[in-house]
Structure 1
Amino acid sequence: MQDPEPSSRTRSASTSSDQRENKKNNIRINESTKTLGKWELDPRQVALIEKSNLISLKDIGVTHIDCSLLRAFIGKWCKVTNTSWLTVGEMTPTLYDVWHILRILVIGKPVTGIRPKDYKAFIIEFLGNYHIGDKLNRLKHTWLRAKFEQLPKKPTKIKLLQHTRAYLLYLVGTTIFADTSQDSTLTSYLQLFGDLDEAEKYAWGATTLTFLYGSLSKIVDGDTHFSGSTTLLQRWIYEHFPALSSKPTTITIEMPRASKWKKQPRDLVTI
């Protein structure tokens, strides 16, 4: 006797499951820290970046992205509860984790702004220059580096601020606010660096966590781009599942805990 053929409902469920698995395996990581170290900063710029309370993102530097580990974790995410359903129970990154792993503020002013009405005037106000011919609602990373990577030998105070703002926009656009474009950042973020004395008051960490939750939920819905801080999620996994991490290095208590792990590839793992 031949086995009965699977019902259409069974075949449909199997196909849907296969499609979800394929999407999970094809997730693209949007965070890109590989060029951060190539941007040479003047000590005066570093002092301004410290004022913004984002210096730790620069200090963490280049991160090896363990795609296999991230795919395994993302496959366990539930957007209803914003938690990962693991065999040990439900777990999720918290504000406490953000502070200790990235060392950016989790309490303070909300990171909000308005959409510019005139992007050209807006960019000139904050950077003193703009890229002719492109859609100005986003600024290309290549343009930011070409125009602002090299600080003039004797910069005015305005030039120093403009070059530092360009770097900060590039910094958040390739780390905590990395999105699907991968090669550009929303121009509107510039307003967050108009006054660096105010920038230090923002709850960057709370926004980072919100951005990350949103990205994970989109992937559950079928998106193939993983936006936000991959460094945060991966180092959080390392913190709570040390057997999955490479050997940690010794750091001081003031340093972000993301600095504990050296750049080292890993094989496929499941959790």
Structure 2
Amino acid sequence: MAPHIDAPLISAFVERWQPDTNTFHLPFGEMTIMLHDVQAILGIPIDGRALSCSETDHERSLISRVGELLLVREESLRGAHCVKGGVKVSSILGKCSASGRDETCQVTGWLMSTIECCLFTDKSKSRLSSKILLDLDRLDDVPKYSWGSACLAFHYRQLGVASRSESRGIGGCLTLLQAWIYEHFPCFRPRSVRKDVGPDEPLASSWVYAAESKDKSRLVSFRARLDRLTLEEVL
């Protein structure tokens, strides 16, 4: 996980996730991340055109789509640049920053990497693998899409996968989940001072994560605290 993600805290909540209802089962009832949470925490739009989070086959491959957007040959993205049907983010950034590439290509690579690494992260945390880009005809249209709803749907699915007993990791926007926990459950907030943010700034930027141990003892402690949690402690 990324350095700012508190793995034991995330794991404790994932254990409470019920895929059938897309909610966390808590001692006093159920709670879940809502669309307005996504908008407030991440500052991304929840209105606009729909994006598909489906993993079904498309007429064109993800690798060919990345090649189209970066204006490079599909063959140049295969081999060492391709991992389990996805493209390494480092390869995308390398292609778009190569000598002679124009600013449009550089912005395209940065945008693709940001979309994948921040909103639709897979377990590798270093590979562009989601099929979201296949829905985009032109990157100029990015502001017209409902990124919040797509991010939330993708995150619900990743929580469902991670909640299975055989799972050994989690994808999705963990920044969203961790900030949501901080916003609604004060007892789990970090010890650092919260920063002030403006009314139009994402709430996630107000939290400064203080590095903590990631050993199992903290996971056990979080489990016990969740067992004692009352409705009065929730915002």
TM range (shorter): 0.7 to 0.9
- Residue aligning to 2:204: 258
Report the AA paired with residue 187 of structure 2: A
Contact 1:116–1:188 at 8 Å: present in 2 too? no
Q: After TM superposition, give the deviation of residue 178 of structure 1 in Å.
A: 0.6
- Residue aligning to 2:138: 195
The gaps in structure 2 that reach 5 residues or longer are: 227-235
Decide which moves more: 180-189 or 255-264.
Answer: 180-189
Contact 1:177–1:227 at 8 Å: present in 2 too? yes
**Structure 2 counterpart SS, 1:225:** coil
Q: Distance in 2 between matches of 1:119 and 1:144?
A: 13
Contact 2:62–2:134 at 8 Å: present in 1 too? no
Q: After TM superposition, give the deviation of residue 187 of structure 1 in Å.
A: 7.4
Q: After TM superposition, give the deviation of residue 108 of structure 1 in Å.
A: 1.4
**Structure 2 counterpart SS, 1:226:** coil
2:89 to 141, 146, 150: 141
The 1:266/1:241 distance shift into structure 2, 3 A limit, reads farther
> Once superposed, which parts of structure 1, at least 4 consecutive aligned residues long, lie more than 6 Å away?
none
- Residue aligning to 1:80: 20
The gaps in structure 1 that reach 5 residues or longer are: 1-28, 33-62
- Residue aligning to 1:178: 121
Deviations 1:37-57 (A, max 9, x none): xxxxxxxxxxxxxxxxxxxxx
- Residue aligning to 1:232: 176
Matched, 1:126 2:81: no
Q: Distance in 1 between matches of 2:174 and 2:125?
A: 13
CA RMSD in angstroms, aligned pairs only: 2.6
Report the AA paired with residue 72 of structure 1: A
Matched, 1:244 2:188: yes
Report the AA paired with residue 235 of structure 1: A
Q: Distance in 2 between matches of 1:120 and 1:141?
A: 12
Matched, 1:161 2:96: no
Contact 2:16–2:25 at 8 Å: present in 1 too? yes
Contact 1:138–1:184 at 8 Å: present in 2 too? yes
Highest Rg: 1 or 2?
Answer: 1
Report the AA paired with residue 168 of structure 2: T
Decide which moves more: 126-135 or 244-253.
Answer: 126-135
Report the AA paired with residue 35 of structure 2: L
What is the TM-score with the length of structure 2 in the denominator? 0.77
What is the TM-score with the length of structure 1 in the denominator? 0.67
The 1:141/1:90 distance shift into structure 2, 3 A limit, reads same
The 1:150/1:237 distance shift into structure 2, 3 A limit, reads farther
**Structure 2 counterpart SS, 1:252:** coil
- How many residue pairs were aligned? 206
Contact 2:42–2:204 at 8 Å: present in 1 too? yes
The 1:118/1:94 distance shift into structure 2, 3 A limit, reads closer
Q: After TM superposition, give the deviation of residue 176 of structure 1 in Å.
A: 1.2
Contact 2:67–2:77 at 8 Å: present in 1 too? no
Contact 1:139–1:187 at 8 Å: present in 2 too? no
The 1:76/1:124 distance shift into structure 2, 3 A limit, reads closer
